[in-house]
Amino acid sequence: MSAVQSYVHGASEVPLIGDTIGAHFDAAAARWADRDALVVRHQDVSWSWAELKKRVDDFAAGLIELGLVPGSRIGIWSPNNAEWVITQFATAKAGLILVNINPAYRLAELEFALNKVECTALITAASFKTSDYVGMIRELAPEIDSADTGALSAARLPHLKTIIQIGEDDVAGMYGFADVMATGAAAGHDKVAALAPSLQFDDPINIQFTSGTTGSPKGATLTHHNILNNGYFIGETMALTDADRICIPVPLYHCFGMVLGNLACMTHGAAMVYPSAAFDPLATLETVAAERCTGLYGVPTMFIAQLEHAQFAEFDLSSLRTGIMAGSPCPVEVMKQVIDKMHMDQVTIAYGMTETSPVSTQTSVDDPLDRRVGTVGRIHPHVEVKIIDDEGRIVVPGETGELCTRGYSVMRGYWNDAEKTAESIDAAGWMHTGDLATMDGSGYFNIVGRMKDMVIRGGENLYPREIEEFLYRHPKVSDVQIFGVPDEKYGEELCAWIKLAEGERATGEEMRDFCKGQIAHLKIPRYIKFVDEFPMTVTGKIQKFVMREQMIAELGLAEAKTA
């Protein structure tokens, strides 16, 4: 049946799950006790669901023994590892709100995140590559060296009391992750079990930071109900079963890893397989082949890196059948290569945003090829989507407008920010995504642009205003405008136009050095141009599209062709 307006409701005979994540996890662990649950290649970990449950319960009990109470915020700042997965399920069972902190964050960003949501506890990796996490915490909270463990009192991090580090070394003022687990094992699981009936599925369980055009990151607050159901229906759309093994090279701090990955697997008894701490194309190919993975996740740049790897042809990827490509527009040619060369005949594309748990639309495993490579699929079960014009009226199929979504998946709101929440979720409960989309008569959606000037670099959402605000701190900077320009590898790269204060001189390298160690490397502009003025409309509005066009011409860049 053809739609007469761009509105669709994902009616479903399959009911929403009415459990907390902890209750559903326990049921899954009982049902698939001896099946593989978690494989982490770089840590030589291979646990069944029963083995994972024991560790999850030990850690949940340990957190309770530390005095953490339901509703407390506990941050996790770490690349992908087994401890991250344990933490995800253990915090849910302890009623704690897990705060995902990007492992690429640096000092200014970490300080903001911890203080914004008043984290009382933080789980941190010791180090990874060039990131000395413990060193950065010491820089923000030098009081840690003389503090009693669990009793930190730091001037710059006033709410933070307890730090748990994932590592072998004893660190002054910090608990060891293994020690907290051992404490929980000794105490037993009675308190965890006693807590379960009091936890409700509408309780907030997760905060993920997402920026906007207005500057500082906002904490999207998600419930058990939000992300457990979204994970379940993602798995249903992929036809997952307990025979599946999903290779997850995407980050856990993002919904892609912890919802599309862990929760889709947990609700279907599929194995979660982690190839490396951070994405590595060779490790991913090796893992798919060695573990006989049936599914693979990634943003387009990850798939490109694997397809173009010099050793690609050496790996037997014939076990693959499905997976998800998401995070940024998916190039049609890349999708075709993934299906052809990686055997992923049932690969799906998913579309959504952190604030909606995240997936609102997804292609299905049996959609015709042109739909799977050329659209972001159809509505998810129990979700509504409409496309509206500037006046808020629903447009006819084929017409472009803003995509809005409503249903169980919409977040509770931005943490402690009613004003920003009201700007995004209207009185009727619709989440305004800021994405420009079309819907055809058969209910397939296409994302055609963005209302906001967000830049998507390699699947990461970067928000110009946030980076502009940071660069304004430089004493030589009078004004700055950040925007994206096309890039073959990442889809987009950041470009900065900087107006210096009167009489000042500076270099691009000087500006980049100012950013290093303070903001994530991917937020540091690749291109920097010093200008005397910005193109503006007659009413004084900055015209970033003019700057973008000028830089494309100056740098000889080409727009990437996407679905």
pLDDT for res 213: 38
On the CB side of 262, CA atoms within 13 Å amount to 28
Pair type for strands 45-48 and 460-462 = unpaired
d(CA 132, CA 542): 39
Question: At 562, is the pLDDT very low, low, confident or very high (cuts 50, 70, 90)?
Answer: very low
List all residues 6 or more positions away from 331 whose beta carbon is below 8 Å from its beta carbon: 300, 560, 561, 562, 563
d(CA 527, CA 475): 20
Task: Report which DSSP code applies to 190.
Answer: H
Question: Among positive and negative, which fits the CA dihedral 16, 17, 19, 22?
Answer: negative
In a domain, 528, yes or no: yes
Strand partners, 164: 123, 175
Torsion of CA 39, 40, 43, 48, to 10 degrees: -30
pLDDT digits (tens, 9 = 90+) for 82-125: 999 999 999 999 999 999 999 999 999 999 999 999 999 999 99
pLDDT digits (tens, 9 = 90+) for 395-450: 999 998 999 999 999 999 999 999 999 999 999 999 999 988 999 999 999 987 67
In a domain, 425, yes or no: no
Question: At 214, is the pLDDT very low, low, confident or very high (cuts 50, 70, 90)?
Answer: very low
Domain span at residue 480 reads 455-555
- The radius of gyration of the chain's CA atoms, rounded to the nearest angstrom, is 23
pTM over 0.85? The answer is: yes
CATH of the domain at 532: 3.30.300.30
In a domain, 536, yes or no: yes
Lowest mean pLDDT among 4-8, 274-278, 559-563: 559-563
Average pLDDT over residues 207-225: 82
pLDDT digits (tens, 9 = 90+) for 74-88: 999 999 999 999 999
Q: What mean pLDDT is reported for the chain?
A: 94
Are 243 and 294 in contact, with CB atoms under 8 Å apart? Answer: yes
Q: Where are the alpha helices (DSSP H) in 369-442?
A: 369-374, 418-424
Q: How many residues does the chain have?
A: 563
Q: Give the whole-number percent of the chain exceeding pLDDT 70.
A: 96
pLDDT digits (tens, 9 = 90+) for 487-516: 989 999 999 999 998 899 999 999 999 999
pLDDT digits (tens, 9 = 90+) for 147-182: 999 999 999 999 999 999 999 899 999 999 999 999
pLDDT for res 259: 98
Q: Which residues of 32-55 are buried (b: 16+ CB within 10 A; e: fewer)?
A: beebbbbbbbbeebbbbbebbbbb
Token digits of residue 525: 């502009």
Higher-confidence residue of 242 and 460: namely: 242
| Residue 220 pLDDT > 70 | yes
In a domain, 377, yes or no: no
Question: At 212, is the pLDDT very low, low, confident or very high (cuts 50, 70, 90)?
Answer: very low
Are 71 and 95 in contact, with CB atoms under 8 Å apart? Answer: yes
In a domain, 527, yes or no: yes
Pair type for strands 73-77 and 97-101 = parallel
Higher-confidence residue of 61 and 472: namely: 61
pLDDT digits (tens, 9 = 90+) for 527-540: 999 999 989 765 55
Are 382 and 357 in contact, with CB atoms under 8 Å apart? Answer: no
pLDDT for res 10: 98
Token digits of residue 315: 């790996």
In a domain, 71, yes or no: no
Q: Give the whole-number percent of the chain exceeding pLDDT 90.
A: 83
Strand partners, 350: 362
| Residue 330 pLDDT > 80 | no
Token digits of residue 473: 């701190």
Give me the DSSP letters along 154-176. -SSSTT--EEEEESSS--TT-EE
pLDDT for res 77: 98
pLDDT digits (tens, 9 = 90+) for 342-395: 999 999 999 999 999 999 999 999 999 889 888 999 999 999 999 999 899 999
pLDDT for res 1: 44
On the CB side of 272, CA atoms within 13 Å amount to 31
In a domain, 525, yes or no: yes
d(CA 216, CA 463): 9
Residue 448 backbone class (left: φ over 0; alpha: ψ -120 to 50; beta: rest): alpha
139 sits in which H/E element:
helix 133-140
Number of domains observed in the structure of the chain:
1
pLDDT for res 422: 97
In a domain, 104, yes or no: no
Torsion of CA 89, 95, 96, 99, to 10 degrees: 60
d(CA 141, CA 133): 12
